[in-house]
Structure 1
Amino acid sequence: MENIKFAWHKETSSEYQKRVVEEDEEPPKWDFIHMIQMLYYVKDIPATLKFFHGLLAANAKILIILVSGTSGWEKLWKKYGFRLPRDDLCQYVTSSDLAQILDDLGIKYECYDLLSTMDITDCFIDGNENGDLLWDFLTETCNFIKTAPLDLKEEIMKDLQEPEFSVKKEGKVLFNNNLSFIVVEANV
């Protein structure tokens, strides 16, 4: 890795976009841009993709990693997202949504799925601290188990044990945590 230059920007994508736009010079071109588990937290996904795609050098790539459209996340978010309280900006976007956005923008890409599960067994043990934290993670809601309406908790708890969300194996409940790796091509 001796001859590889890397620029680390400790700022949000919108902060970076604003900074680049405000500079009076031509924006830098990049050979590789990664967007790993971050598109959930931008306000305007199409505009963000279009902006960063415009920063690619010839033959460059963007690597996007986010939850797959075949994951339990997609089913959880589509069914319950509108009922979950939002503590922060979180867009419930999956690879299926992203493929549609990229198609609409006319941007070339390839998509690869990585099969993955997450053990959520502790979610079903009353008073389990790890389970409570998993609930917060799954729902993007702080103190979900203590603050959510009982009917919502019961519905989600039941669904998370169903085959379209999870598999049961060796006494564990394994949530479908499939991820997608999307490789975006530069315009040639």
Structure 2
Amino acid sequence: MLTLLQSTFPGVPITADIVEGSSQLTDNFKALVAKTTNLQKSPFAWYIMHSEDYERQVKEKGHLKTFDFIHMIQMIYFVDNLASTIKFYHSLLKNNGRLMIIVEADLRWLAHPVETYKKDFCVDAIQKYRSSGEVSACLKSQGLKH
């Protein structure tokens, strides 16, 4: 994604703040960055912590860094409060900034099986099974265009 942004906006400096709760995934990402020549000059800030901990840390410091683009790819399953998380990350956007949330499609016909077998779907660290319908409703309730 960063390489795509660099090719789309050549000459625009790109910095990346990475919030990831898994040290293993962070290490994998760092190794990928090290192998990608055009990313080696971009500054990265690594936060190996869960989203709520990052939010708490940012609020305690009182200095909100703002971003042009924030993506939340398959991460909302790992947060306790979806509405609060979206509100926080949206507050970090610059004017005309974009928040991209990628999550599974809303498959209403699967609602009963998912609820019935949630423990089988939500394995390991996944805390909540959430669909695009839930995200869309949350965005709408906050008055956010999507």
Cα distance in structure 2, aligned partners of 1:73 and 1:90:
18
Cα distance in structure 2, aligned partners of 1:72 and 1:11:
34
Alpha carbons of 1:28 and 1:83: their partners in 2 closer, same or farther (altered >3 Å)?
closer
Higher Cα radius of gyration: 1
Alpha carbons of 1:85 and 1:48: their partners in 2 closer, same or farther (altered >3 Å)?
closer
Q: Counterpart in 2 of 1:5?
A: 15
- The TM-score, its normalising length taken from structure 1, stands at 0.50
Q: Counterpart in 1 of 2:144?
A: 107
Q: Which structure has the highest strand share of the two?
A: 1
Alpha carbons of 1:21 and 1:76: their partners in 2 closer, same or farther (altered >3 Å)?
same
Q: Counterpart in 1 of 2:67?
A: 30
Deviation at 1:24, TM superposition (A): 3.4
Q: Counterpart in 1 of 2:97?
A: 60
Q: What fraction of aligned residue pairs are identical, expressed as a percent?
A: 29
Q: Which structure has the highest helix share of the two?
A: 2
Deviation at 1:64, TM superposition (A): 0.7
CA RMSD of aligned residues (A): 2.7
- The TM-score, its normalising length taken from structure 2, stands at 0.63
Count of residue correspondences: 108
Q: Unmatched 5+ residue regions in structure 1?
A: 110-188
Q: Does 1:15 align with 2:53?
A: yes
Check conservation: 1:43, 1:89, Cα contact below 8 A.
no
Cα distance in structure 1, aligned partners of 2:51 and 2:79:
7
1:97 to 116, 124, 134: 134
